[in-house]
Amino acid sequence: METKEGKININEMDFKFAEEVISYPGGEHLRKCFACGTCTAGCPISEIDEAFSPRRIIRQILFGMREEVLSSPAIWFCLICYRCYAHCPQNVNFPDLMRVLQYLAIKQNYVTSDILDRIKEIDKRLQILRHDLIKYDVDKQKQLHPVKK
């Protein structure tokens, strides 16, 4: 498989993987990707973690790297913000592709307890953050537009 130097072991490539991903809604345009990197350049997660690269994940799927992709915590980092999809010149729906990968990772038992704990922790923090942001917005609106009694 792909090493840090970018080498690939052809004996470990799973050629059915890409077809499997393509068979789910969201995976349809996978083979149209021409690796321009626009998705990675505009991704807010790639900005904070350079190890997260939509372009690379797509290449890995196309190269049949099932285990690397489905066991990677990176497939759980996507915010599903659709920014990459909006700018993709080939209409590759990467956020929906992420959902497919997450589904396959669970179905095929690639999710370890360590990854599950990390996902739960991120979800918990996101809920707290969302609650505080909504509260801040509601309080601000109340100050700007007090209800007349």
**Position among 9, 19, 23, 44 found at the interface with ligand SF4 (CB under 6 A):** 44
- The verdict on 78 binding ligand SF4 (CB under 6 A) reads yes
Concatenated DSSP letters for the chain? ---TT----GGG--THHHHHHHTSTT-TTGGG-----HHHHT-HHHHH-TT--HHHHHHHHHTT-HHHHHT-GGGGT-----HHHHH-TT---HHHHHHHHHHHHHHTT---HHHHHHHHHHHHHHHHHHHHHHHHHHHHHHHHSPPP-
Smallest separation, CB 16 to ligand SF4 (Å): 21
What CA–CA distance (Å, rounded) separates 93 from 49? 21
* Short-list 114, 112, 119, CA closest to 98: 119
**Position among 38, 76, 99, 119 found at the interface with ligand SF4 (CB under 6 A):** 38
Instruction: List the structure tokens of 120.
Output: 């739960």
Smallest separation, CB 41 to ligand SF4 (Å): 8
Select from 8-16, 68-76, 79-87, 126-134 the region that touches ligand SF4 (CB under 6 A): 79-87
Interacting residues with ligand SF4 between 97 and 136 (CB under 6 A) = none
Smallest separation, CB 58 to ligand SF4 (Å): 6
Smallest separation, CB 84 to ligand SF4 (Å): 3
**Position among 79, 106, 116, 126 found at the interface with ligand SF4 (CB under 6 A):** 79
**Position among 88, 101, 104, 105 found at the interface with ligand SF4 (CB under 6 A):** 88
The binding site for ligand SF4 (CB under 6 A) comprises: 33-39, 43-45, 54-55, 58, 78-84, 88-90, 92, 94-95
